[in-house]
Structure 1
Amino acid sequence: AMQARVQQDLAEIAGGRHSVSFAEAAEPVMGGEFLGCGALAGPPDTPYEGGVFEVTVRFPKGYPIEPPRVNFATRVFHCNISPDGLVGLAMLSNGWMPSTTLSQVLSAVSELLAHPDPADSRSSRSVSRACPEAPRTCEQ
């Protein structure tokens, strides 16, 4: 069931109108998980515009009951992305719903690049770099 759902999510992206390119298959990795790789285009009117950012998505054995883990392979200075590339997004933790698709996840990650959430900061050093225009807000 998990593998079928992963393939369904990947097929949705392949047929959609997203600023993302993603592999049409996810490869099995240790522990019964699957790993997919892709790229997100930097959102317009942001410091990331014009950039292409490699991402990996690790689908746990319990997917879609358990959320996927999204990491940037490309270094990104952003207050919601840890130094090792892990994306901090509520929908990928306590806000996860099994009906959420990979397409929705990647759209939310792209939206996060455009609109940082300082309340869910992953790195205090990244906060000052990613949010220099509003340091007081970002430090809360």
Structure 2
Amino acid sequence: MRNAILDNHKTIAWDIDETLINGPNSRFFRDYIRGNPDKCHYLVTFRTPRPWAEEALEQLRAHGLDPSLISGVSSVPVDLFAAFANRHEDPDHPLLVDFDHWKGMEAARLGCTVLVDDMEASVIRGCLRHSVTFVHSHHECFALEHAA
């Protein structure tokens, strides 16, 4: 399987919810991973560690994607997630800035040059700071390619 955007990257960071699972282009992305086992595919998620993040591999298996095609799973640190979850009570919490940069930073740490995600507002600053290309997982170009 080919894609003009993703083919330029050897190591890809993938969001889970609304990207690989339950998103408008999820089937296309799972097919892309299956069709490109030579690439490194990482899950980079705002799901907190164990067991929620680890369940993702079983959820992907239920959608027909072999978990062995995934090079690793990175979960947001609990303190960052807590700051985000409580953002309405403490909108100036200093960890909120770290939360917004975490996925881009983590993708770069893993050697990923692209992050495919649906939450642009929560990841774009980190992607820009760490020179990781951001691709919105709901972009219609993927639906058009999948239909072709």
If the TM-score is normalised by the length of the shorter chain, which range does it land in? under 0.3
Normalised by the size of structure 2, how large is the TM-score?
0.26
- Relative contact order (C-alpha < 8 Å, sep 6+): which is higher? 2
Structure with greater proportional helix content: 2
TM superposition score normalised by structure 1: 0.26
